[in-house]
């Protein structure tokens, strides 16, 4: 069992597929644990959250009608995706139900292709379609003679003598027991990753210079009023006509804050690189619909999906694969200290 060269001189196909199997298993396990450990992934207000990614997909995905129903339960969707990736990774790495895990990997990769990288141009710049086809050999061949629990259980079943009786049933029970143990280990590991990630990353979110603007209230312009006897009473603070986003102090100097564009409903971000200088952009990457974020340390707007970067002053592309820049949103600061998207 697990000998590279078989008695007939051939090499089992699973040995040829082993590098691919290890790569996919490690990648999916890492991706799942990384999502669970990231405190911003499940926080709807974060520009890099699963909620922001789903909102972006509703504008670009061919299955936008379906995704629209998932936006209200985005955190639950994010947890299911993360746990699914971790479970697929563990199953493939230890070789338990490799075919089933690979088919699940194909389904998840295809779903991500339809929601995240469908509009990648050229198409091969999106990794999800590549992952989809990378899973197909394992889905067809399984472990195929390479080191795996599947291979060990198969060998155990074939070597059992009929005199033992119930061998096949015991093998099935063993497989289920192994599956249960693996699932328990994966859940415990995922839980630990989530706890550690939130403990370590909780403070990092604030330190990164990213805030959140509330508001969204449409107000008319404020003018002076005339009181009794013709006296004029100045307003406490003039408010321009438009949609109030929230206090300008919510945007740290040298940092950014996220908000929802009142005109399009898209996730957006406002940046204050220098005190009192505010610029705002639609945060949906024109390449594949992911939500971009401002990185204060490197002073660029970056897409977390495919690495496109944009100028934080103009929104122009500084690095592809995006071929067009971010849409600018006019934003002004009222005398009352709030930020507005004017009419």
Query: In the 3-class helix/strand/coil scheme, how is the chain assigned residue by residue?
Result: CCCCECCCCCECHHHHHHHHHHHHHHHHHHHHHHHHHCCCCCCCCCCCCHHHHHHHHHHHCCCHHHHHHHHHHHHHHHHHHHHHHHHHHHHHHHCCCHHHHHHHHHHHHHHHHHHCCCCCCCHHHCHHHHHHHHCHHHHHHCCCCCCCHHHHHHHHHHHCCHHHCCHHHHHHHHHHHHHHHHHHHHHHHHHHHHHHHHHHHHHHHHHCCEEECCCCEEECCCCCEECHHHCEECCCCCCCCEEEEEEHHHCCCCEEEEEECCCCCCEEEEEEEECCEEEEEECECCCCCCECEEECCCCEEECCCCCCEECCCCCCEEECCCCCCCCEECCEECCCCEEEEEC
How many C-beta atoms surround the C-beta of residue 275 within 10 A?
Answer: 7
Number of Cβ within a 10 Å radius of residue 12: 19
Mean pLDDT of 193-203: 47
CA distance 186 to 239: 54
Least confident of 90-99, 266-275, 301-310: 301-310
Residue 289 pLDDT > 90: no
Quick one: tokens of 302?
Answer: 């970056």
Mean pLDDT of 285-309: 82
Peptide bond into 14 cis (omega under 30): no
Q: Worst-scoring range by mean pLDDT, 45-59, 137-151, 297-311? A: 45-59
What was the pLDDT predicted at 204?
A: 40
Picking from 25-39, 182-196, 218-232, which range would have the lowest pLDDT averaged per residue?
218-232
Higher confidence at residue 123 or residue 37?
37
Most confident range (mean pLDDT) of 26-35, 165-174, 202-211, 274-283 is: 26-35
Residue 215's pLDDT band, with cuts at 50, 70 and 90, is low
Q: Give me the domains of the chain, ranges plus CATH numbers.
A: 13-207 (no CATH), 210-222+237-342 (2.102.10.10)
For residue 185, pLDDT over 80 is answered with no
What interhelical angle do 167-207 and 13-37 show, nearest 10? Answer: 40
At 207, the pLDDT band (50, 70, 90 cuts) reads: very low
Going by pLDDT thresholds of 50, 70 and 90, the confidence category of residue 328 is very high
Q: Would you state the pLDDT for residue 11?
A: 85
Tell me, what's the pLDDT at 293?
85
CA 277 vs. chain centroid, Å, equals: 30
The whole-angstrom separation of Cα 326 and Cα 68 is 23
- CA geometry: angle at 305 spanning 300 and 309, to 5°? 20
pLDDT at 225: 37
Q: Looking at residue 33, what is its pLDDT?
A: 93
- C-beta of residue 219 within 8 angstroms of C-beta of residue 244: yes
Residue 118 CA, distance from chain mean position: 15
Please report where in the chains the tokens 């629990």 appear, as a residue.
Answer: 149
Tokens (6 digits) for 306: 């495919």
Q: Tell me which of 120 and 76 has the higher pLDDT.
A: 76
pLDDT at 303: 85
Query: Can you give the pLDDT at residue 47?
Result: 66
Range with top average pLDDT, 138-142, 257-261, 329-333: 138-142
What confidence tens digit (pLDDT) does each residue in 226-282 have? 343 443 444 445 567 778 888 888 888 888 888 888 888 788 889 998 888 899 999
């Amino acid at each position: 069992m697990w000998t590279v060269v078989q008695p007939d001189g051939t090499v089992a196909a699973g040995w040829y597929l082993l590098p691919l199997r290890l790569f996919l298993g490690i990648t999916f396990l890492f991706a799942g644990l990384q999502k669970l450990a990231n405190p911003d992934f499940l926080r709807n207000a974060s520009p890099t959250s699963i909620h922001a990614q789903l909102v972006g997909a509703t504008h670009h995905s061919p299955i936008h009608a379906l995704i629209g129903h998932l936006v209200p339960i985005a955190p639950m969707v994010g947890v299911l995706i993360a746990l699914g990736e971790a479970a697929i990774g563990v199953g493939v790495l230890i070789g338990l139900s490799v075919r089933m895990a690979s088919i699940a990997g194909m389904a998840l990769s295809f779903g991500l292709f339809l929601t995240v990288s469908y509009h990648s141009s050229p198409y091969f710049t999106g990794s999800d379609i590549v992952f989809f086809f990378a899973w197909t050999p394992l889905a067809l061949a399984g472990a195929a003679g390479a080191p795996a629990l599947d291979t060990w259980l198969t060998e155990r079943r074939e070597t059992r003598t009929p005199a033992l009786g119930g061998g096949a049933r015991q093998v099935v029970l063993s497989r289920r027991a192994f599956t249960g143990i693996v699932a328990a280990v994966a859940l415990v590991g995922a839980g630990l990753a989530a706890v550690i990630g939130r403990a370590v990353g909780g403070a990092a979110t604030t330190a990164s210079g990213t805030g959140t603007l509330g508001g969204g209230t449409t107000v008319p312009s404020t003018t002076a009023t005339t009181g009794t006897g013709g006296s004029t009473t100045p307003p406490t603070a003039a408010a321009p006509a438009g949609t109030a986003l929230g206090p300008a102090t919510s945007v740290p100097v040298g940092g950014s804050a996220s908000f929802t564009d009142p005109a399009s409903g898209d996730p957006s971000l406002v940046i204050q690189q220098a005190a009192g200088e505010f610029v705002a952009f639609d945060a949906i990457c024109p390449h594949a619909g992911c939500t971009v974020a401002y990185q204060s340390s490197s002073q660029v707007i970056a897409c977390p999906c495919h690495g496109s970067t944009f100028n934080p002053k103009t929104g122009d592309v500084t690095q592809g694969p995006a071929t067009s820049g971010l849409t600018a949103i006019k934003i002004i600061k009222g005398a009352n200290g709030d930020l507005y998207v004017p009419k």
